[in-house]
């Protein structure tokens, strides 16, 4: 799920936002301020409706974030690192650096999300009841009650057995347990997600034509998101199946050409694109050989021509702490999500003991491996 911008980090995990959650945020605020709150409790000034509508929308997004944080916490407890979390229309996606090792772990990671939303729903329902007994204005009680209902709805919806929902991961775990084939289970879950998505699209359009209510198109839009996300999951499952048993060292470009951080862009370009400089991405090192970052042709091209003589490669590189890394013996299937989320579309391969640079992986390395594997392996 493509991100729009980054919110920040929680416990070292990057939190990103897809444009669809922004639309949902605005929709929640407008629907509450101009609809439910105003109709249920008329007579308040407009600023009261809008303030409470916006505040409720913020708490709703925070509830979605709590749902994803729960996934991340459980994954970490089972030794699985979390790449990032992206909030979007259906709730969110916590992207893991590796797959769950067993169906049981998959169930725990997937199930904790709907459980968290359900518990939040119960908590908000209890809070609404307490506020009502304390005589708090009904407008605020209504907003808290809405949060209770939406969290329960989020828990139920995410439990539907179809990818990319949490229920899809639960279905995958069940089929994995039954068949012993996690890749086949993932493909089935993705197919269920596409099927549900098409049902929502058809229902949305038919309802819109039958009622003349354009708001029914939101259901079709939701279905479209599910189809796209489930298709991506299915493709990734097939990719992992093809790359099964292949380690990073088998596909990486070993001993990549490095460039000194203190070299000016002008000096660097004088030697490109010939000889060693025929590549488009280069690890950047200091005079003592310490790896400090990665520079690409795209980053260099963004530097104005008049500034290239006074600007060094170290000035424009992506710092090593922001570059995706891998170890040589790591499965390529675990590397692919990192490569796809990398802004530089490169992964640096480091020796796990010395942390020394031993290789680099790009999309072309993956594509070459897939081409050869497809030609030499008999499909299952």
Residue 99 has pLDDT above 80, yes or no: no
Residue 344 banded pLDDT, cuts 50, 70, 90 = confident
Binned at pLDDT 50, 70 and 90, residue 274 comes out as: low
With beta carbons less than 8 A apart as the criterion, state whether 68 and 94 touch. yes
- The pLDDT of 320-330, averaged and rounded, is 89
Are 102 and 78 in contact, with CB atoms under 8 Å apart? no
| pLDDT single digits (tens) 191-235 | 999 999 999 999 999 988 888 777 677 788 888 888 988 898 888
Decide: 297 and 308 in contact? Cβ < 8 Å. Answer: no
Q: Which residues are catalytic?
A: 68
Q: How far apart are CA 71 and CA 111, in angstroms?
A: 8
pLDDT band at 170 (very low <50, low <70, confident <90, very high): very high
Average pLDDT value over all residues in the chain: 87
DSSP conformation letters of 278-289: GSSEEEEE-TT-
* pLDDT tens-digit map of 278-317: 788 999 999 988 999 999 989 999 999 999 999 999 999 9
Q: What is the pLDDT of residue 380?
A: 45
CA–CA gap between residue 98 and residue 191 (Å, rounded): 22
pLDDT, tens digit (0-9, with 9 covering 90-100), for 33-85: 988 888 898 989 999 999 999 999 999 999 998 998 899 889 989 888 887 78
pLDDT of 319 above 90: yes
User: Does 31 have pLDDT greater than 60?
Assistant: yes
Residues in the chain: 380
Q: What are phi and psi of 344, to 5 degrees?
A: -90, -5
> What's the whole-model pTM score?
0.75
Q: Taking residues 127-138, report their average pLDDT.
A: 93
**In this structure, which long-range contacts are made by residues 94-98, counting pairs with CB atoms below 8 Å and at least 24 apart in sequence?**
94/68, 95/337, 95/341, 96/337, 97/334, 97/337, 97/338, 98/331, 98/334
Percent above pLDDT 90 for the chain = 49
Fold of the domain built from segment(s) 248-376: CBS-domain (3.10.580)
Sheet holding 318-319, edge to edge: 259-260, 281-285, 291-296, 318-319
Q: Quick one: pLDDT at residue 54? A: 95
Q: What is the pLDDT of residue 349?
A: 95
- Each domain of the chain, given as residue ranges in start order, spans 5-159, 180-242, 248-376
Which of 4-18, 31-45, 343-357 is the least confident region? 4-18
Does residue 159 carry a pLDDT above 90?
A: yes
Alpha helical stretches, state H, the chain = 19-31, 37-40, 46-77, 103-133, 138-158, 166-179, 182-211, 217-242, 248-251, 265-271, 297-301, 313-316, 332-341, 363-376
Q: Contact at 8 Å (CB) between 262 and 288?
A: no
DSSP state letters, 89-140: TTEEEEEESS--SSHHHHHHHHHHHHHHHHHHHHHHHHHHHHHHHTT--HHH
């Amino acid at each position: 799920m493509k991100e729009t911008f980054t919110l920040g980090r929680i416990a070292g995990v990057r939190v990103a936002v897809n444009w669809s959650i922004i639309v949902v945020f605005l929709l929640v605020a407008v629907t509450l301020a101009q609809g439910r709150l105003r109709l249920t409790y008329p007579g308040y000034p407009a600023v009261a409706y809008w303030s409470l509508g916006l505040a409720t929308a913020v708490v709703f997004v925070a509830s979605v974030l709590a749902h994803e944080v729960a996934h991340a916490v459980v994954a970490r407890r089972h030794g699985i690192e979390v790449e990032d979390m992206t909030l979007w229309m259906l709730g969110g996606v916590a992207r893991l650096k590796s797959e769950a090792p067993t169906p049981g772990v998959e169930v725990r990671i997937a199930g904790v999300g709907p459980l968290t939303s359900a518990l939040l729903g119960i908590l908000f329902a209890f809070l609404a009841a307490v506020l009502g007994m304390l005589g708090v204005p009904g407008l605020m009680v209504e907003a808290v009650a809405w949060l209770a209902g939406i969290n329960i709805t989020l828990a139920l919806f995410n439990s539907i057995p179809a990818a990319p929902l949490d229920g899809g991961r639960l279905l995958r775990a069940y089929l994995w347990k039954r068949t012993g084939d996690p890749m086949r289970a993932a493909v089935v879950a993705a197919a269920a997600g596409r099927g549900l998505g098409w049902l929502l699209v058809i229902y949305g359009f038919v309802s819109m034509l039958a009622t003349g209510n354009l708001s029914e198109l939101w259901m079709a839009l939701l279905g479209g998101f599910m189809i796209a996300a489930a298709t991506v999951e299915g493709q990734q499952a097939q990719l992992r199946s093809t790359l099964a048993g292949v380690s990073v060292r088998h596909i990486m470009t070993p001993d990549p050409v490095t460039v000194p951080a203190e070299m000016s862009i002008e000096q660097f370009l004088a030697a490109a694109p010939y000889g060693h400089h025929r590549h488009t991405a280069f690890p950047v090192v200091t005079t003592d050989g310490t790896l400090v970052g990665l520079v690409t042709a795209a980053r260099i091209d963004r530097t104005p021509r008049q500034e290239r003589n006074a600007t060094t490669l170290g000035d424009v590189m992506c710092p090593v702490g922001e570059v995706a890394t891998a170890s040589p013996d790591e499965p390529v299937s675990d590397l692919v999500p990192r490569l796809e989320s990398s802004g530089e579309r490169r992964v640096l391969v480091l020796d796990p003991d010395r942390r020394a640079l031993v290789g680099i992986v790009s999309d072309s390395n993956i594509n070459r491996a897939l081409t050869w594997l497809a030609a030499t392996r008999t499909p299952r």
